Amino acid sequence: MTDRPSPAVQDYLKAAYRLSEGAGSGAITTSRVAEALAVTPASASNMLRRLDGLGYVEQLGRGEFRLTAPGRAAALEVLRHHRLLETFLVERVGVPLEDAHREAEVLEHHLSEELEARIADLLGHPERDPHGDPIPSVTGHVVPVAGEPLSQIPVGGRGTVVRVSDRDPGLLRFLAGAGLVPDACVHVLRAAEDGCVSVRVDDATVEVPPDAAAAVFVACAEG
């Protein structure tokens, strides 16, 4: 397929890919796609049937689909655009971490392959974006980022933040202000029954609410 998918199709493919990452079989459901994109199940169902007709997904059962090889390739292409743009906006333009995702959501649909290559060269071909998510290579290779949610790290555990979720700008603003960003060193001091976690972040102690603790992923230090 030589023609670039429409922005709406790209958004669905990107959502489908993200949902399929956590599914062992790669299967995605209409209801989860609708929830991820904040659309009605009927709208999601109509678009998924369209994607099936375009060869981007295949139907497995009632309300259940899976990305095809062309669909996965198209999803990874738009994810590469998105994450390269986030990196460029944060590192070269000075856009705050919590705002880069929203800006990249708009720009990703209009980035040419030539400009993408120039941005990648300028940035030194990074493997991760500012949130710690892997940037797919030109050939569609993705290096997985290991890490456990901060909420699951035991008291006394130490490690390095490898990724933070970019889904909620308000949450990202809190994490950035607390220093809970990729490459920060953390030490879990206490865990409350309500899910709040007290952590040492570099040289400061931070109280992290449950939703924020679930959005931070840490690679634990050995030993």
151 has pLDDT over 50: yes
CATH number at residue 21: 1.10.10.10
CATH number at residue 206: 2.30.30.90
pLDDT at 146: 84
Is the residue at 61 inside a domain? yes
211 has pLDDT over 90: yes
Would you say 70 and 55 are in contact if contact means Cβ atoms under 8 Å apart? Answer: yes
User: Which among 67, 85, 110 is the end of a domain?
Assistant: 67
Is the residue at 1 inside a domain? no
pLDDT at 167: 81
Range(s) of the domain holding residue 32: 7-67
Q: What is the arithmetic mean of pLDDT over 59-84?
A: 94
Q: What is the arithmetic mean of pLDDT over 138-153?
A: 92
Is the residue at 203 inside a domain? yes
Tally of domains in the chain: 2
Q: Which two tokens stand for residue 182?
A: 């990729």
Is the residue at 101 inside a domain? no
Is the residue at 157 inside a domain? yes
Is the residue at 176 inside a domain? yes
Is the residue at 163 inside a domain? yes
1 has pLDDT over 50: no
Confidence of residue 221 (pLDDT cuts 50, 70, 90): confident
pLDDT tens digits along 155-203: 999 999 999 998 888 999 999 999 999 999 999 999 999 999 999 998 8
Q: What is the pTM of this model?
A: 0.88
User: Which among 15, 41, 67 is the end of a domain?
Assistant: 67
pLDDT at 25: 66
pLDDT at 24: 60
pLDDT at 196: 95
pLDDT tens digits along 11-55: 999 999 999 986 566 789 999 999 999 999 999 999 999 999 999
pLDDT at 26: 77
Q: What is the arithmetic mean of pLDDT over 57-74?
A: 93
pLDDT tens digits along 77-94: 999 999 999 999 999 999
Is the residue at 16 inside a domain? yes
User: Which among 25, 40, 67 is the end of a domain?
Assistant: 67
